[in-house]
Amino acid sequence: MSTIVRFAPSPTGRIHIGNARAALLNWLFALKTGGQFILRYDDTDVARSTQEFADGIAADVAWLGIKPARVEWQSKRFARYDAVAADLKARGFLYACYETADELDRRRKRQQARGLPPVYDRASLKLSPGEIAAFVAEGRKPHWRFKLAQKPVEWNDLIRGAVHIDTATLSDPVLIREDGTYLYTLPSVIDDIDFDVTHVIRGEDHVVNTAVQIEITEAIGGKVPAYAHYSLLNGADGKGLSKRLGSLSIQQFREDGLEAMAVVSMASLLGTSDSIHPCTDYSELVESFDLGKLSRAPARFDEAELKLINAKLLHMLPWGAVKDRLAYGDEAFWLAVRGNIEKLADAKAWHGIVAGDMKGEVAEADAAFIAAARAALPPAPWDGSTWKAWTEAVKAATGRKGKELFMPLRRALTGLDHGPELAALLPLIGREKALARLG
């Protein structure tokens, strides 16, 4: 049977680097195993979910190079969830609870004060018909909890190994709110069953919830998927990213001019035994992908490192990978400047230096030297050997060498004291512009 995985964002905001890592690990698993990747919008929170956010997530996923085999919306499946919920109620797996949030909070605090774990005591199962009627008369509407089996749940996690959780230590989870809306747990389990999801790959913050979902899956009569829980991201300082993720959205990376494959490379290799390095396409990542390489230690995400990966990636890219995104220059230009840019947009400044009408910088002390250099300019046409021939002639005429020879020429030709090799730039600038810049 083909493997099937899913990425299930809520369209209540844009996806960030942590979400992207989840999507990419699932996508790489699907590519590696020849399986399917489902994009599923967990939009049961109708009040906060918007089409704008859903469209934004779709754009972010596409920018990352992920191609879902299918797209699903939980908001279109409420009838199915209602049918399963009714069945679970009829069989005693879902039971009504009438406590208010304040009452539950006070109960938890009393338990903690007595040194007891704040686990729900199933008091609602002991209510008499009269007590239930009194609550209803008050206008209370029940929320619905799933009755856990209170037994050990075990699975072989594809990253963490053997996991054992006793659900007797957990509160029966609320699956349906007082207003009848669903928390994500039940729809998620039903969708995984109905869509034949074979592997659930997600963050370690869901480990305990997995034990609950396994029990729900078994109660519904579905097949339990394989689970893999990877470590979450920390910042370069070792602290969690949770409060900073707003500035780390995929949309922001794209608007900042970063390359999609730089983000893909870093997010995919973080927390693995492989070194973090730029990959020009997915082929290398797919070939080396193995869930077993993911460490249980927290992975560190450093924005500075991402920018470095982005620059290294650009330095590797051939002309064919960028020509459709540049409205200027040619292959010779790209090969000359790519090693001196951090973002693709930086190439525009170098094109201005190459093709623009600019005046170079000539220090007063270098005026005679530059005049001699101008007189020694070789005739056209120019090629990659022109720079060496010219500088040798200038050296012979002036006696200068090293930095005293090269730096004034660079400043006069480009206005800068750094940049691409002038052997590559000089033919692009051309003799006419060089003459003008040299005075």
CA neighbours within 13 Å on the CB side: how many for 368?
Answer: 5
Of the candidates 177, 180, 175, the one whose C-alpha atom is nearest the C-alpha of residue 190 is: 175
pLDDT at 78 over 80: yes
Residue 399, C-beta contacts closer than 8 angstroms, at least 6 positions apart: none
Query: How many residues does this entry show for the chain?
Result: 439
Pairing state of beta strands 36-41 and 70-73?
Answer: parallel
| pLDDT tens for each residue of 321-352 | 999 999 999 999 999 999 999 999 999 999 99
Hey, what domains does the chain have and what are their CATH numbers?
1-72+231-316 (3.40.50.620), 80-176 (3.90.800.10), 331-437 (1.10.10)
Q: What is the pLDDT of residue 359?
A: 84
The two three-digit tokens of residue 286, written as one number: 């797919």
- Pull the structure tokens for residue 96: 């009504």
Q: pLDDT averaged over the chain?
A: 95
The DSSP element (H or E) to which 122 belongs, if any, is none
Tell me what percent of the residues of the chain surpass a pLDDT of 70: 98
Does position 238 have pLDDT exceeding 80, yes or no? no
pLDDT tens figures, 79-115: 999 999 999 999 999 999 999 999 998 998 898 888 8
Tell me the pLDDT band of 247, cut-offs 50, 70 and 90.
Answer: low
**CA neighbor of 345 nearest in space, from 388, 309, 311, 385:** 311
